[in-house]
Amino acid sequence: MTTALSFHIKLQRKDFTLDVKADIPNGITGIFGPSGHGKTSLLNSIAGIVTPDSGYIHLNGDTLLDSNKKVNVKIRQRRVGYVFQDERLFPHYTIKKNLLYGEKNPDQDLFDEVVDTLQIAHLLNKKPEQCSGGEKQRAAIGRAIISGSKILLMDEPFSALDVNLRREIIPYLNRVHQKFSLPILIVSHDLPDLLSLTDNLLLLKNGQLLGHGKFTDLLDQPENLELMHESGWYNVMHLSVFAHLESKNMVLLKSNKSNLQIQALTQTIGKDVEVNQALKVLIKPESIALSKEPVQNISLRNQVGGIMKEVFLKDGLAFCIVDVGENIIVEVTEASQKSMCLEKGQRVYCLFKSASLKIY
Amino acid sequence: MSELFKYTASEWSAIQLSLSVALICAVITLPLAIAVGWFLARKKFFGKSVVEGIIHLPLVLPPITTGYLLLLVFGNRGVFGKFFYETFGIQIAFSFYAAVIAAIFVSFPLVTRSIRLSIELVDQKLEEAARTLGASNLRVFFTITLPLALPGVISGFILSFARSLGEFGATISFAGNIEGKTQTLPLAIFSEMQVPGQEASTMRLVVVSVILSLLAMIAAEFLNKRVIKSKTA
First to last CA, chain A: 22
What pLDDT does A160 receive? Answer: 67
pLDDT over threshold 60, residue B158: yes
> Are A80 and B131 a contacting pair at CB < 8 A?
no
User: Residue A188 is which amino acid?
Assistant: S
Give the list of residues 6+ apart from residue A74 with CB closer than 8 angstroms, or none. A48
Q: By mean pLDDT, which of A80-89, A158-167, A308-317, B151-160 is the weakest?
A: A158-167
Question: Vertex B216, ends B214 and B222: CA angle to 5°?
Answer: 100
pLDDT over threshold 80, residue B232: no
C-alpha closest to that of A348 among A297, A278, A295, A296: A295
pLDDT over threshold 70, residue B233: no
What pLDDT does B30 receive? Answer: 96
pLDDT, mean of residues B139-145: 96
User: Looking at residue A201, which CATH number applies to its domain?
Assistant: 3.40.50.300
pLDDT, mean of residues A14-21: 90
What pLDDT does A124 receive? Answer: 96
What pLDDT does A107 receive? Answer: 85
User: Looking at residue A355, which CATH number applies to its domain?
Assistant: 2.40.50.100
Q: Are A263 and A253 in contact (CB under 8 A)?
A: yes
Residues of chain B with C-beta less than 8 angstroms from the C-beta of A79: 134
Residues A308 and A256 placed together within one structural domain of the fold: yes
At A182, is the secondary structure helix, strand, or coil? coil
Strand order, beta sheet including A151-155: A71-72, A62-66, A54-59, A3-13, A16-25, A208-214, A200-205, A28-32, A184-188, A151-155, A80-83
Q: Is B228 on the interface with A (CB under 8 A)?
A: no
Which residue, A193, A212, A231, sits at the end of a domain? A231
C-alpha closest to that of A142 among A170, A102, A171: A102
Residues A207 and A73 placed together within one structural domain of the fold: yes
C-alpha closest to that of A279 among A358, A186, A348: A358
> Are B134 and A129 a contacting pair at CB < 8 A?
no
Q: Are strands A250-254 and A261-265 parallel, antiparallel or unpaired?
A: antiparallel
Residues A203 and A269 placed together within one structural domain of the fold: no
pLDDT over threshold 80, residue A226: no
What pLDDT does A1 receive? Answer: 63
Q: What is the pLDDT of residues B26-76, one digit of tens each?
A: 999 999 999 999 999 999 999 999 999 999 999 899 999 999 999 999 998
Q: How many domains does chain A have?
A: 2
ipTM tops the 0.85 cut: no
> Are A90 and B126 a contacting pair at CB < 8 A?
yes
Residues of chain B with C-beta less than 8 angstroms from the C-beta of A127: 232-233
Residues A339 and A254 placed together within one structural domain of the fold: yes
pLDDT over threshold 80, residue A158: no
With respect to CATH, is domain B2-232 assigned 3.90.650.10?
Answer: no
Q: What is the pLDDT of residues A231-248, one digit of tens each?
A: 667 788 888 889 888 888
Q: Which chain A residues touch B if contact means CB-CB below 8 Å? A: 47-49, 75-82, 84, 86, 88, 90-92, 101-103, 127, 129, 143-144, 147-148
| Nearest-by-Cβ selection for B148 from A88, A92, A102 | A92
What pLDDT does B151 receive? Answer: 87
What pLDDT does A250 receive? Answer: 87
Range of the domain at A276: 235-359
Residues A190 and A300 placed together within one structural domain of the fold: no
Looking at chain B, the whole-number percentage of residues with pLDDT higher than 70 is: 96
Distance from CA of B132 to the nearest CA of A (A): 5
pLDDT, mean of residues A326-332: 88
Residues of chain B with C-beta less than 8 angstroms from the C-beta of A76: 131-136
> Are A77 and B132 a contacting pair at CB < 8 A?
no
C-alpha closest to that of A63 among A125, A5, A112, A140: A5
Distance from CA of B120 to the nearest CA of A (A): 16
Residues of chain B with C-beta less than 8 angstroms from the C-beta of A129: 232
pLDDT, mean of residues A80-108: 91
> Are B125 and A127 a contacting pair at CB < 8 A?
no
pLDDT, mean of residues A249-255: 89
Q: Is B125 on the interface with A (CB under 8 A)?
A: yes
Residues A176 and A240 placed together within one structural domain of the fold: no
At B70, is the secondary structure helix, strand, or coil? helix
What pLDDT does B19 receive? Answer: 94
What is the rounded average pLDDT for all residues in chain A? 87
Residues of chain B with C-beta less than 8 angstroms from the C-beta of A101: 130, 133, 135, 143
Residues A95 and A191 placed together within one structural domain of the fold: yes
C-alpha closest to that of B17 among B108, B111, B95: B95
Q: Are A153 and A85 in contact (CB under 8 A)?
A: no
